[in-house]
Protein backbone atom coordinates (compact mmCIF):
# COMPACT_ATOMS: atom_id res chain seq x y z
CA UNK A 1 0.00 0.00 0.00
CA UNK A 2 2.75 2.46 0.97
CA UNK A 3 4.74 1.59 -2.16
CA UNK A 4 1.68 2.22 -4.35
CA UNK A 5 0.94 5.53 -2.60
CA UNK A 6 4.58 6.60 -3.03
CA UNK A 7 4.56 5.80 -6.76
CA UNK A 8 1.27 7.62 -7.36
CA UNK A 9 2.62 10.64 -5.45
CA UNK A 10 5.74 10.71 -7.64
CA UNK A 11 3.64 10.53 -10.80
CA UNK A 12 1.36 13.28 -9.48
CA UNK A 13 4.34 15.59 -8.82
CA UNK A 14 5.66 15.01 -12.34
CA UNK A 15 2.16 15.70 -13.68
CA UNK A 16 2.16 19.04 -11.84
CA UNK A 17 5.49 19.87 -13.47
CA UNK A 18 3.91 19.21 -16.88
CA UNK A 19 1.01 21.48 -15.92
CA UNK A 20 3.40 24.28 -14.95
CA UNK A 21 5.45 23.86 -18.14
CA UNK A 22 2.24 24.29 -20.14
CA UNK A 23 1.22 27.38 -18.20
CA UNK A 24 4.59 29.10 -18.71
CA UNK A 25 4.38 28.13 -22.41
CA UNK A 26 7.48 25.97 -22.36
CA UNK A 27 5.32 23.16 -23.79
CA UNK A 28 2.79 23.95 -26.52
CA UNK A 29 0.48 21.80 -28.63
CA UNK A 30 3.25 20.67 -30.95
CA UNK A 31 5.64 19.90 -28.11
CA UNK A 32 2.97 17.88 -26.32
CA UNK A 33 2.23 15.90 -29.48
CA UNK A 34 5.93 15.20 -29.97
CA UNK A 35 6.33 13.92 -26.41
CA UNK A 36 3.22 11.78 -26.82
CA UNK A 37 4.61 10.28 -30.01
CA UNK A 38 7.89 9.41 -28.25
CA UNK A 39 6.02 7.72 -25.39
CA UNK A 40 3.57 5.83 -27.61
CA UNK A 41 6.04 4.72 -30.29
CA UNK A 42 9.34 4.34 -28.43
CA UNK A 43 9.36 4.49 -24.63
CA UNK A 44 6.21 2.49 -23.84
CA UNK A 45 6.97 -0.34 -26.33
CA UNK A 46 10.44 -0.60 -24.75
CA UNK A 47 8.82 -0.75 -21.32
CA UNK A 48 6.71 -3.66 -22.53
CA UNK A 49 9.72 -5.45 -24.08
CA UNK A 50 11.77 -5.00 -20.92
CA UNK A 51 9.44 -7.47 -19.22
CA UNK A 52 10.84 -10.38 -21.22
CA UNK A 53 14.29 -9.53 -22.61
CA UNK A 54 16.84 -11.77 -20.89
CA UNK A 55 14.55 -12.14 -17.89
CA UNK A 56 14.26 -15.29 -15.80
CA UNK A 57 10.57 -14.80 -15.24
CA UNK A 58 8.64 -16.57 -12.51
CA UNK A 59 5.38 -16.11 -14.43
CA UNK A 60 4.08 -19.50 -15.52
CA UNK A 61 2.43 -20.34 -18.82
CA UNK A 62 -0.84 -21.29 -17.13
CA UNK A 63 -0.98 -17.86 -15.52
CA UNK A 64 -0.62 -16.26 -18.95
CA UNK A 65 -3.52 -18.36 -20.24
CA UNK A 66 -5.57 -17.27 -17.25
CA UNK A 67 -4.71 -13.66 -18.01
CA UNK A 68 -5.99 -14.01 -21.58
CA UNK A 69 -9.31 -15.23 -20.25
CA UNK A 70 -9.38 -12.52 -17.60
CA UNK A 71 -8.57 -9.79 -20.14
CA UNK A 72 -11.46 -10.91 -22.35
CA UNK A 73 -13.71 -11.14 -19.30
CA UNK A 74 -12.73 -7.68 -18.01
CA UNK A 75 -13.51 -5.94 -21.30
CA UNK A 76 -16.79 -7.86 -21.66
CA UNK A 77 -17.63 -6.75 -18.10
CA UNK A 78 -16.85 -3.10 -18.93
CA UNK A 79 -18.81 -3.16 -22.20
CA UNK A 80 -21.88 -4.48 -20.39
CA UNK A 81 -21.58 -1.78 -17.71
CA UNK A 82 -21.15 0.89 -20.38
CA UNK A 83 -24.53 0.00 -21.87
CA UNK A 84 -26.33 0.91 -18.63
CA UNK A 85 -24.12 3.49 -16.90
CA UNK A 86 -25.01 6.54 -19.06
CA UNK A 87 -28.72 6.01 -18.39
CA UNK A 88 -28.05 5.46 -14.67
CA UNK A 89 -26.41 8.87 -14.33
CA UNK A 90 -29.10 10.41 -16.58
CA UNK A 91 -26.64 11.60 -19.18
CA UNK A 92 -28.02 13.48 -22.15
CA UNK A 93 -28.59 11.37 -25.23
CA UNK A 94 -25.88 13.15 -27.22
CA UNK A 95 -23.36 12.49 -24.41
CA UNK A 96 -24.05 8.79 -23.87
CA UNK A 97 -21.65 7.49 -26.52
CA UNK A 98 -18.78 9.43 -24.93
CA UNK A 99 -19.63 8.03 -21.50
CA UNK A 100 -19.75 4.50 -22.94
CA UNK A 101 -16.29 4.83 -24.44
CA UNK A 102 -14.87 6.46 -21.28
CA UNK A 103 -16.24 3.58 -19.19
CA UNK A 104 -14.44 0.93 -21.24
CA UNK A 105 -11.10 2.45 -22.14
CA UNK A 106 -8.74 3.43 -19.33
CA UNK A 107 -5.25 4.88 -19.35
CA UNK A 108 -3.57 1.47 -18.99
CA UNK A 109 -0.59 2.52 -21.11
CA UNK A 110 0.32 5.97 -19.79
CA UNK A 111 -0.56 5.33 -16.12
CA UNK A 112 -1.17 1.59 -15.77
CA UNK A 113 2.16 0.32 -17.10
CA UNK A 114 4.42 2.72 -15.13
CA UNK A 115 2.54 2.04 -11.88
CA UNK A 116 2.55 -1.74 -12.45
CA UNK A 117 6.25 -1.74 -13.28
CA UNK A 118 7.17 0.37 -10.25
CA UNK A 119 4.91 -1.49 -7.84
CA UNK A 120 5.07 -5.14 -8.93
CA UNK A 121 8.22 -5.31 -11.07
CA UNK A 122 8.85 -6.04 -14.75
CA UNK A 123 7.44 -9.57 -14.50
CA UNK A 124 3.99 -8.10 -13.96
CA UNK A 125 4.19 -6.32 -17.33
CA UNK A 126 3.76 -9.72 -18.97
CA UNK A 127 0.29 -9.83 -17.46
CA UNK A 128 -0.39 -6.21 -18.37
CA UNK A 129 0.75 -6.74 -21.97
CA UNK A 130 -2.08 -9.22 -22.48
CA UNK A 131 -4.61 -6.51 -21.63
CA UNK A 132 -3.16 -4.12 -24.20
CA UNK A 133 -3.86 -6.41 -27.17
CA UNK A 134 -7.68 -6.58 -26.83
CA UNK A 135 -7.62 -2.94 -25.71
CA UNK A 136 -6.06 -1.76 -28.97
CA UNK A 137 -8.32 -3.95 -31.07
CA UNK A 138 -11.45 -2.78 -29.26
CA UNK A 139 -10.66 0.93 -29.16
CA UNK A 140 -10.05 1.06 -32.93
CA UNK A 141 -13.19 -0.96 -33.70
CA UNK A 142 -15.85 -0.87 -30.99
CA UNK A 143 -14.67 2.51 -29.70
CA UNK A 144 -14.85 4.20 -33.09
CA UNK A 145 -18.21 2.55 -33.83
CA UNK A 146 -19.62 3.81 -30.51
CA UNK A 147 -18.42 7.36 -31.15
CA UNK A 148 -19.79 7.34 -34.69
CA UNK A 149 -23.10 6.04 -33.36
CA UNK A 150 -23.31 9.00 -30.98
CA UNK A 151 -22.09 11.55 -33.49
CA UNK A 152 -24.49 10.55 -36.21
CA UNK A 153 -22.51 11.74 -39.22
CA UNK A 154 -18.85 12.58 -39.55
CA UNK A 155 -18.41 16.34 -40.04
CA UNK A 156 -16.09 15.76 -42.99
CA UNK A 157 -18.53 13.53 -44.78
CA UNK A 158 -19.35 9.85 -45.26
CA UNK A 159 -16.43 9.30 -47.61
CA UNK A 160 -13.96 10.22 -44.88
CA UNK A 161 -15.59 7.75 -42.46
CA UNK A 162 -15.30 4.93 -45.01
CA UNK A 163 -11.70 5.83 -45.66
CA UNK A 164 -11.01 5.87 -41.93
CA UNK A 165 -12.59 2.46 -41.45
CA UNK A 166 -10.24 1.03 -44.05
CA UNK A 167 -7.34 2.31 -41.96
CA UNK A 168 -8.59 0.68 -38.76
CA UNK A 169 -6.91 -2.68 -39.47
CA UNK A 170 -3.59 -0.95 -39.93
CA UNK A 171 -4.01 0.96 -36.68
CA UNK A 172 -4.73 -2.25 -34.75
CA UNK A 173 -1.26 -3.58 -35.55
CA UNK A 174 0.55 -0.59 -34.10
CA UNK A 175 3.94 -0.57 -32.40
CA UNK A 176 2.37 -1.16 -28.97
CA UNK A 177 0.61 -4.34 -30.06
CA UNK A 178 3.75 -5.53 -31.88
CA UNK A 179 5.75 -4.99 -28.69
CA UNK A 180 3.17 -6.99 -26.73
CA UNK A 181 3.37 -9.89 -29.17
CA UNK A 182 7.18 -9.82 -29.20
CA UNK A 183 7.22 -9.78 -25.40
CA UNK A 184 5.11 -12.94 -25.23
CA UNK A 185 7.14 -14.66 -27.98
CA UNK A 186 10.47 -13.85 -26.30
CA UNK A 187 9.12 -15.03 -22.97
CA UNK A 188 7.76 -18.31 -24.32
CA UNK A 189 10.80 -19.15 -26.48
CA UNK A 190 13.50 -17.89 -24.10
CA UNK A 191 15.36 -16.05 -26.91
CA UNK A 192 18.46 -14.23 -25.63
CA UNK A 193 19.42 -10.83 -27.04
CA UNK A 194 22.77 -8.97 -26.91
CA UNK A 195 23.42 -7.01 -23.72
CA UNK A 196 23.72 -3.73 -25.64
CA UNK A 197 20.15 -4.14 -26.92
CA UNK A 198 18.91 -5.11 -23.48
CA UNK A 199 20.49 -2.01 -21.91
CA UNK A 200 19.18 0.26 -24.69
CA UNK A 201 15.64 -1.03 -24.26
CA UNK A 202 15.87 -0.61 -20.48
CA UNK A 203 17.13 2.99 -20.72
CA UNK A 204 14.40 3.95 -23.20
CA UNK A 205 11.73 2.25 -21.08
CA UNK A 206 12.66 4.51 -18.17
CA UNK A 207 11.36 7.50 -20.17
CA UNK A 208 7.78 6.22 -20.09
CA UNK A 209 6.65 7.34 -16.64
CA UNK A 210 8.11 10.88 -16.55
CA UNK A 211 7.26 11.78 -20.15
CA UNK A 212 3.73 10.39 -19.98
CA UNK A 213 2.96 12.27 -16.77
CA UNK A 214 4.37 15.49 -18.25
CA UNK A 215 2.08 15.06 -21.28
CA UNK A 216 -0.98 14.47 -19.08
CA UNK A 217 -0.06 17.46 -16.92
CA UNK A 218 0.37 19.62 -20.02
CA UNK A 219 -3.07 18.55 -21.26
CA UNK A 220 -4.59 19.73 -17.96
CA UNK A 221 -2.96 23.11 -18.55
CA UNK A 222 -5.33 23.69 -21.48
CA UNK A 223 -8.46 23.28 -19.36
CA UNK A 224 -10.04 25.67 -16.86
CA UNK A 225 -9.71 23.49 -13.76
CA UNK A 226 -12.67 25.10 -12.00
CA UNK A 227 -15.04 23.85 -14.70
CA UNK A 228 -14.04 20.24 -13.99
CA UNK A 229 -15.78 20.25 -10.62
CA UNK A 230 -19.11 21.79 -11.65
CA UNK A 231 -20.42 18.93 -13.83
CA UNK A 232 -22.35 16.76 -11.36
CA UNK A 233 -22.87 13.89 -13.82
CA UNK A 234 -19.18 13.77 -14.65
CA UNK A 235 -18.34 13.76 -10.94
CA UNK A 236 -20.71 10.86 -10.30
CA UNK A 237 -19.30 9.03 -13.31
CA UNK A 238 -15.75 9.51 -12.00
CA UNK A 239 -16.63 7.97 -8.63
CA UNK A 240 -18.26 4.98 -10.32
CA UNK A 241 -15.40 4.59 -12.81
CA UNK A 242 -12.55 4.89 -10.30
CA UNK A 243 -13.99 3.30 -7.16
CA UNK A 244 -17.20 1.32 -7.65
CA UNK A 245 -16.24 -0.55 -10.84
CA UNK A 246 -12.77 -1.62 -9.53
CA UNK A 247 -14.29 -2.75 -6.21
CA UNK A 248 -17.05 -4.79 -7.85
CA UNK A 249 -14.67 -6.22 -10.45
CA UNK A 250 -12.01 -7.19 -7.92
CA UNK A 251 -14.58 -8.68 -5.54
CA UNK A 252 -15.74 -10.98 -8.34
CA UNK A 253 -12.18 -11.79 -9.43
CA UNK A 254 -11.19 -12.46 -5.81
CA UNK A 255 -13.13 -15.71 -5.80
CA UNK A 256 -10.78 -17.05 -8.50
CA UNK A 257 -7.89 -17.19 -5.98
CA UNK A 258 -5.38 -15.57 -8.32
CA UNK A 259 -1.69 -14.98 -7.73
CA UNK A 260 -1.36 -11.71 -5.71
CA UNK A 261 0.75 -10.12 -8.46
CA UNK A 262 -1.86 -10.91 -11.13
CA UNK A 263 -4.61 -9.65 -8.82
CA UNK A 264 -2.65 -6.41 -8.33
CA UNK A 265 -2.33 -5.96 -12.09
CA UNK A 266 -6.08 -6.52 -12.43
CA UNK A 267 -6.76 -3.84 -9.82
CA UNK A 268 -4.61 -1.23 -11.55
CA UNK A 269 -6.09 -2.10 -14.96
CA UNK A 270 -9.59 -1.46 -13.60
CA UNK A 271 -8.71 1.54 -11.42
CA UNK A 272 -6.79 3.68 -13.91
CA UNK A 273 -8.46 6.88 -15.20
CA UNK A 274 -10.07 7.45 -18.58
CA UNK A 275 -7.58 6.97 -21.43
CA UNK A 276 -6.48 10.01 -23.40
CA UNK A 277 -7.19 8.11 -26.62
CA UNK A 278 -10.93 8.53 -25.98
CA UNK A 279 -10.59 12.30 -26.43
CA UNK A 280 -8.35 11.92 -29.49
CA UNK A 281 -10.81 9.57 -31.19
CA UNK A 282 -13.77 11.76 -30.21
CA UNK A 283 -12.12 14.73 -31.93
CA UNK A 284 -11.28 12.73 -35.06
CA UNK A 285 -14.62 10.97 -35.47
CA UNK A 286 -17.02 13.75 -34.51
CA UNK A 287 -17.72 12.60 -30.93
CA UNK A 288 -18.08 14.80 -27.86
CA UNK A 289 -14.47 15.99 -27.60
CA UNK A 290 -15.18 18.49 -24.81
CA UNK A 291 -16.79 15.91 -22.52
CA UNK A 292 -14.10 13.29 -23.25
CA UNK A 293 -11.32 15.80 -22.53
CA UNK A 294 -12.87 16.82 -19.23
CA UNK A 295 -13.41 13.15 -18.35
CA UNK A 296 -9.73 12.38 -18.94
CA UNK A 297 -8.63 15.38 -16.87
CA UNK A 298 -10.97 14.84 -13.92
CA UNK A 299 -10.40 11.10 -13.54
CA UNK A 300 -6.63 11.59 -13.89
CA UNK A 301 -6.63 14.04 -10.97
CA UNK A 302 -8.87 11.82 -8.82
CA UNK A 303 -6.93 8.63 -9.60
CA UNK A 304 -3.93 9.85 -7.60
CA UNK A 305 -6.10 9.35 -4.51
CA UNK A 306 -8.57 6.66 -5.63
CA UNK A 307 -6.04 4.01 -6.75
CA UNK A 308 -4.39 3.81 -3.30
CA UNK A 309 -7.86 4.01 -1.69
CA UNK A 310 -9.32 1.13 -3.70
CA UNK A 311 -6.15 -0.87 -3.09
CA UNK A 312 -6.55 -0.37 0.66
CA UNK A 313 -10.24 -1.31 0.63
CA UNK A 314 -9.61 -4.45 -1.43
CA UNK A 315 -6.85 -5.56 0.96
CA UNK A 316 -9.59 -6.12 3.57
CA UNK A 317 -11.61 -8.44 1.34
CA UNK A 318 -11.68 -11.92 2.92
CA UNK A 319 -11.33 -13.58 -0.51
CA UNK A 320 -7.78 -12.22 -1.00
CA 21, CA 162: separation in Å to the nearest integer? 39
Whether 33 contacts 231, CB under 8 Å: no
pLDDT confidence bin for 164, thresholds 50/70/90: low
How do residues 111-163 score in pLDDT, each as one tens digit? Answer: 788 788 777 777 777 788 778 878 877 887 888 888 877 654 444 444 454 44
CATH number for domain 2-314, candidates 3.90.550.10, 1.20.1530.20, 3.40.50.1820, 2.60.120.620: 1.20.1530.20
Q: Choose among 300, 283, 290: nearest CA to 106.
A: 300
Exposure of 16 by Cβ count < 10 A (0-12 exposed, 13-18 middle, 19+ buried)?
middle
Q: Residue-wise over 20-41: b if at least 16 C-beta within 10 A, else e?
A: ebbeeeebeeebbeebbebbbe
Instruction: Indicate whether this model's pTM tops 0.85.
Output: no
How do residues 246-259 score in pLDDT, each as one tens digit? Answer: 999 888 877 777 77
Mean pLDDT of 1-10: 69
How do residues 50-77 score in pLDDT, each as one tens digit? Answer: 877 866 655 566 766 777 888 888 999 9
Phi, psi of 229 (to 5 degrees): -105, 15
Domain residues of the chain, as ranges? 2-314
Residue 274 bridge partners (DSSP): 106
Amino acid sequence: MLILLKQMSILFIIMIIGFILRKIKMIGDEGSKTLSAIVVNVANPCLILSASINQESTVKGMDLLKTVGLAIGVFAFLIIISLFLPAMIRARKENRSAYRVMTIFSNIGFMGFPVISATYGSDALLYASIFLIPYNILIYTYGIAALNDGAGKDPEGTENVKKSKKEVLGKIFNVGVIACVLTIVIYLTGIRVPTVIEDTVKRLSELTAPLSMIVIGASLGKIELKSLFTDVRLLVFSVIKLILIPLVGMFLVGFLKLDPKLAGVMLIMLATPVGSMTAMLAEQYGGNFDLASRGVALTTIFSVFTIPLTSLIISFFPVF
